[in-house]
């Protein structure tokens, strides 16, 4: 006897739609590529139930669909979605994994996942939760891919940071180690020598500073110097002491998706489904952070564009970015001046990639990101304000 269809989740203002039964030969353990989903337990990282919003709406159309009950908000709005694809275990009679369905047909067992998607992410790092945040990139290194050497002198780095803050940066992200593909590690002592004078000066002026590091000793020294946020490209995996340190300090943290190290990551680009795999791997890192005592509300996530991902994989990840909102954290995206732009357009020097950077960044915002990490602060702030005015959120 076929299993009964799963009970639909009542969504306020949305008319319920009965789910189709899973055909007996379809097998609820298979995803859209015929592969078994990772795990069946909604509480474990590998088995996280993921709702992928599709059919996104913005502007006046989103407002109309929301008011008429045809859609639900994405991360609190103003973007909305009317259809979904479900990935993971749904129990007997669940909808077929990966098949597009109306939002009203979501089984009631998926209520927690839907709430994480529709509710606005929590306030993070004491910063405004009702608008896009802009993070200015300040690399105090001689070998950064985009501006290596320009801010190696502390005085020049401090001046650049103050200019970014004046242009509207909410966060100044100071780093002393290049993590571009193929780069070698920088000793923590050298890293600290590069960044600590800059952090002290900028924090001393009252600005919110994050430290871009994967070394626990550098994290501690930077926090002592006035940094408020830790931004770790390894998601606290590189240094065994990092998670405990962040937990003990009680500071906000950004967990970025990466596989391996900067030297090896581009050999680790084999994925079953890039957005789903990235989401589940970040879920595993969030679980490690929470086990160490870091509150989920203190965590922002970064999909790691350009880290252990090919050009086509980066584009797919950006286009299906809403799936990361299942994790209940604010999404930070860093696409500024990245080589992805040259892969699309041909060889464009990093300093000439502003138009492409703005296009990628605004697309990420339309897909649920709420923090942009950028080199060109003034231009990004202007673009974001215009984008928000068009979409009805400005």
- For 117-176, write each residue's pLDDT tens digit: 999 988 999 999 989 999 999 999 886 555 656 777 899 999 999 999 999 999 999 999
**Is 193 tagged catalytic?**
no
> Which of 214, 280, 338, 367 is labelled catalytic?
338
Strand partners, 85: 52, 100
Average pLDDT for residues 356-377, to the nearest whole number? 96
Band (34; pLDDT cuts 50, 70, 90)? very low
The torsion angles phi and psi of 287, rounded to 5 degrees, stand at -60, -40
- Is the pLDDT assigned to residue 9 strictly greater than 60? no
Ranges for all domains in the chain classified under CATH 3.20.20.20:
133-391
Task: Return the closest-CA partner of residue 207 out of 142, 104, 134, 109.
Answer: 134
**Is 309 tagged catalytic?**
no
- Give pLDDT, residue 179: 84
- Is the pLDDT assigned to residue 178 strictly greater than 70? yes
Predicted TM-score (pTM) of this structure: 0.86
- Give pLDDT, residue 73: 96
Q: What is the length of the chain? A: 394
Give the right CATH number for 133-391 from 3.20.20.20, 3.40.50.300, 3.40.50.1970, 2.60.40.10. Answer: 3.20.20.20
- Give pLDDT, residue 391: 75
């Amino acid at each position: 006897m076929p299993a009964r269809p799963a009970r639909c989740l009542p969504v306020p203002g949305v008319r319920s739609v009965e789910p189709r039964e899973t055909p007996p030969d379809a097998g609820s353990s298979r995803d859209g590529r015929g592969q078994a989903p990772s795990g069946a337990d909604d509480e474990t990282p590998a088995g996280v139930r993921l709702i992928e919003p599709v059919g996104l709406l913005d502007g006046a159309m989103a407002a109309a669909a929301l008011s008429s009950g045809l859609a639900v908000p994405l991360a609190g709005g103003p973007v909305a979605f009317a259809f979904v694809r479900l990935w993971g275990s749904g129990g007997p009679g669940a909808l077929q994994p990966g098949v597009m369905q109306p939002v009203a047909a979501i089984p009631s067992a998926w209520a927690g996942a839907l709430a994480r998607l529709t509710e606005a992410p929590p306030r993070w790092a004491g910063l405004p939760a009702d608008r896009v945040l802009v993070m200015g990139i300040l690399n105090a290194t001689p070998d950064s891919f985009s501006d290596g050497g320009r801010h190696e002198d502390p005085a020049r780095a401090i001046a650049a940071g103050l200019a970014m803050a004046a242009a509207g940066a909410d966060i100044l992200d100071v780093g002393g180690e290049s993590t571009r593909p193929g780069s070698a590690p920088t000793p923590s002592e050298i890293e600290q020598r590069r960044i600590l004078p800059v952090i002290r000066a900028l924090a001393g002026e009252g600005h919110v500073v994050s430290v871009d590091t994967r070394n626990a000793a550098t994290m501690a020294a930077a926090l002592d110097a006035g940094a408020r946020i830790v931004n770790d490209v390894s998601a606290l995996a590189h240094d065994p002491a990092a998670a405990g340190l962040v937990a003990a300090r009680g500071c906000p943290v950004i967990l970025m998706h990466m596989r391996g190290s900067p030297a090896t990551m581009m050999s680790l680009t084999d994925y079953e489904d890039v957005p789903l795999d990235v989401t589940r791997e970040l879920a595993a890192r969030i679980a490690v952070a929470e086990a160490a005592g870091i509150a989920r509300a203190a965590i922002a996530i970064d999909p790691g564009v350009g880290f252990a991902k090919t050009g086509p994989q980066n584009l797919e990840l950006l286009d299906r970015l809403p799936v990361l909102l299942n994790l209940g954290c604010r999404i930070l995206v860093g696409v500024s001046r990245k080589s992805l732009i040259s892969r699309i357009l041909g060889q464009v020097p990093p300093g000439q990639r502003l138009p492409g950077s703005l296009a990628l960044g605004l697309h990420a915002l339309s897909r649920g990101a709420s923090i942009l990490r950028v080199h060109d602060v003034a231009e990004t702030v202007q673009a974001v304000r215009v984008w928000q005015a068009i979409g009805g959120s400005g």
